[in-house]
Amino acid sequence: MTVAAGLRYARHLSLPEIGQSGQDRLRSARVLIVGLGGLGCPAAMYLAAAGVGRIVLNDFDTVDVTNLQRQILYRQEDAGQGKAVVAAARLSQLNPDVDTQPIPTRLDQESLAETIADCDVVLDGCDNFGSRFAINEACLTVGRPLVSGAAIRFEGQLAVFRNDLPDAACYRCLYDEGGDDFETCTGGGILGPVVGVIGAQMAVETIKLLLGIGRPIENRLLIYDGLNGEWRQLGLKPDPACPACGALRSR
């Protein structure tokens, strides 16, 4: 590590849980972020700042002016440009040591699984059940942990699904059915800093998984109430009848 890099990560190097070896592991790590909205933006920024070596950025959407209230990677002049490309360029400015790979297209199930197989951890910041179910299934197929966040109005939630481990709850154990009633920020509204809280926590959980430190939020769901300043925790159990992980275990 160069002197400049040592200075950049000095506060990490001071942590016994990270140190030089942990920082080297972050440098060699690869993560995929699907959805570069309010959740993906802060998560990506913190992971890039932390020195995660390769960050793959998948989003086929373009920047809209209404995004700027909470999607903190983008600026007024980015309106109309692809989120993945803009995010990759901005993260490279934040930390030139990081290799950012934009994927500005919608991935089908096969290409999604191939992309996930080339990464160590997947972050899901999508806003619809279809995409979330597809990501969960691909993570199960190739055995990768999934960090999932969501937020609406003044509330957010976070969970880590250890799809790389047997007998762990997956996303479909929590939401066994999708539907058209998935509320989005467009209809329900969102306080910008709430997605920042959840997105930052997604980055924390990702770093813990990459380094094998602490206790990941697995088989648990954390719920954040920003209006009242409260956190709640719910336990999650694998569903034997789950159409995703249950089907795999029964093979």
| pLDDT value at 103 more than 80 | yes
Backbone dihedral region for residue 174 (phi beyond 0: left; psi -120 to 50: alpha; all else: beta):
alpha
pTM of the model: 0.94
Structure confidence by residue, pLDDT tens digits, 152-194: 999 999 999 999 998 899 999 998 775 555 566 666 789 999 9
Rounded to the nearest integer, the mean pLDDT of the chain is 93
Structure confidence by residue, pLDDT tens digits, 184-212: 666 678 999 999 999 999 999 999 999 99
Tokens of 115: 């992309």
What pLDDT, on the 0 to 100 scale, is given for residue 198? 98
Residues 6+ apart with CB under 8 A from 202: 39, 43, 123, 125, 147, 149, 158
Give the Å distances, CA to CA, from 176 to 70, 132, 170: 29, 11, 10
| pLDDT value at 1 more than 80 | no
Confidence band (pLDDT; 50, 70, 90) for 2? low
Contact 103, 84 (CB under 8 A): yes
What pLDDT, on the 0 to 100 scale, is given for residue 251? 61
What pLDDT, on the 0 to 100 scale, is given for residue 144? 98
Contact 22, 13 (CB under 8 A): no
| pLDDT value at 217 more than 90 | yes
Give the residue-averaged pLDDT of 112-116: 97
Question: Cα–Cα distance between 217 and 221 in angstroms, integer?
Answer: 7
Strand spans (E) along 35-168: 54-58, 99-103, 121-124, 146-152, 155-161
What pLDDT, on the 0 to 100 scale, is given for residue 176? 74
